[in-house]
Amino acid sequence: MINIVLFGKPGAGKGTQAEFLKEKYKLTHISTGDVFRFNLKNDTELGKQVRVYMDAGDLVPDELTTKMLIDEVNKHTDTNGVLFDGYPRTISQAVALDAFLSSIGSKVTATVALEADDEILIKRLLERGKTSGRIDDQDEDKIRNRYDEYNEKTAPLMQYYNDQGKFHAVNGIGSVQEITERLSAVIDNL
């Protein structure tokens, strides 16, 4: 079982690349952002709980996110491996993921990070916000708040995975296809 954590700042292209990587490596793709948005759209109990955080560009609390993530993984027991897109985003989530995977006799194989400058990414998100209907993409202050959340809570994960020899960064600027090739080169080498 190969478990890949796709890592990067908001708008780095995790969701875009996941669509290609899941097909190429036959992985189960779990995007925490997509699962939350599905629940928001369907106004489920979870959707009601997470709306206030997502609309503001804040991270959803760890306990809620981790419970949801584990429920999602447990739906896919018969898999080659999982492509984690948007999880973990805090050290506490990474520790919970390690503990959960270890309990099922598995582990994170590698973390691949898409790197790009904030200003380029903010432009991408504002562009997407014109058509996506995503409230968190429509207001520059909310987008900047997501970067503050990333710098404070998510960036420390780079050291966490680097200390385990599992962190691989690739340049996230270029065409979607070029970036898929860069990510594939890392995964093929694992």
Q: Which residues bind ligand B4P (CB under 6 A)?
A: 8, 10-16, 32-33, 36, 53-54, 57-60, 65, 86-87, 89, 93, 124, 128, 136, 146, 176, 179
**Closest approach of ligand B4P to the CB of residue 152, in Å:** 13
Least separation, in Å, of the C-beta of 128 and ligand B4P?
3
Q: Is 51 annotated as a binding residue?
A: no
Residue 93 among known ligand-binding residues: yes
Q: How far apart are CA 110 and CA 48, in angstroms?
A: 33
Residue 147 among known ligand-binding residues: no
Decide if 180 contacts 14 (C-beta within 8 A).
Answer: no
182 appears as a binding residue in the annotation: no
Asked if 15 contacts 34 with a C-beta cutoff of 8 angstroms, the reply is yes
- 132-141: long-range contacts at Cβ-Cβ below 8 A with a sequence spacing of 24 or more? 134/37, 135/54, 135/55, 136/54, 136/55, 136/56, 136/57
Residue nearest to ligand B4P (CB): 33
The reply to whether 59 sits in an annotated binding site is yes
Q: Angle between the 176-188 and 14-25 helix axes, to the nearest 10 degrees?
A: 50
Least distance to ligand B4P from the beta carbon of 89, Å? 4
Residue closer to ligand B4P (CB basis): 20 or 105: 20
The answer to whether the CB of 19 falls within 8 A of the CB of 129 is no
Indicate the annotated binding residues for ATP: 11-16, 128, 174
Q: Which residues are annotated as a binding site for AMP?
A: 32, 37, 58-60, 86-89, 93, 134, 146
